[in-house]
Structure 1
Amino acid sequence: MFRAYIKTIIAGKKFAFISIYAPHFDANFFSVLTTTLLRVQDCFLIIGADMNAVVDVSLDRSCVQNYPASSLSSIDLCKFMSDLNLIDVYRIFYPTKRQYTFYSARH
């Protein structure tokens, strides 16, 4: 679940920098992750992750295809973000930009 994490204090505030890898589809992953991260209540969370899911299919995928497992993962990701009051900082600065970090010539 966590690949790596570090807790630190910056300017008198506690931060937890967390690296996460989510499997392609695991029905329990985000609920377990939520429970785990709720234990880190005394820190601001900064999460870098490969969630293997997207928040907005029309903006975050180059090819909009409807796969049931992918749709469920995206729903779970949105619930996870909502439950922990997380924001996608990239979308704050670029609310409508289509940009991808993964490219596959095969797909």
Structure 2
Amino acid sequence: MKRNYKIAPPSSDKRRNPSMLLEEGRQRASPRVDKDDINTPTKAQIDLELAKMMTMTAQEAAAAAAEAVKEAEAAIAVAEEAAREAEEAEADAEVAQAFAVAAMKTLKGRNAPTMVKST
């Protein structure tokens, strides 16, 4: 997959634009997890679930287990996709770093002082 990069315009506020290289045509995903996406049950909810489990029949328990397996497999798929995206982002970062190093070498070569002999 070919990526196109451009150098971001200089910014006086480094906090607003910490990245000098931006990938064109691709939105950056925030590494932060929204607290709304995390479902942490309360003690009362856990107690209610335990009470339900104690009164389940074998068939209901099997259905609940199948549902739990299905949810776990979905979570694994999401985690695997996130791992693939992280690996891709790491590879992109390495390419961007190499580009930045090459660009700096090129700029240093162009800005080398030249001695002008005056007559």
Normalised by the length of structure 2, the TM-score is 0.26
Asked which structure has the greater CA Rg, the reply is 2
Structure with bigger RCO (C-alpha 8 Å, 6+ apart): 1
Query: Going by fraction, where is strand more abundant, 1 or 2?
Result: 1
Query: Going by fraction, where is helix more abundant, 1 or 2?
Result: 2
Normalised by the length of structure 1, the TM-score is 0.28
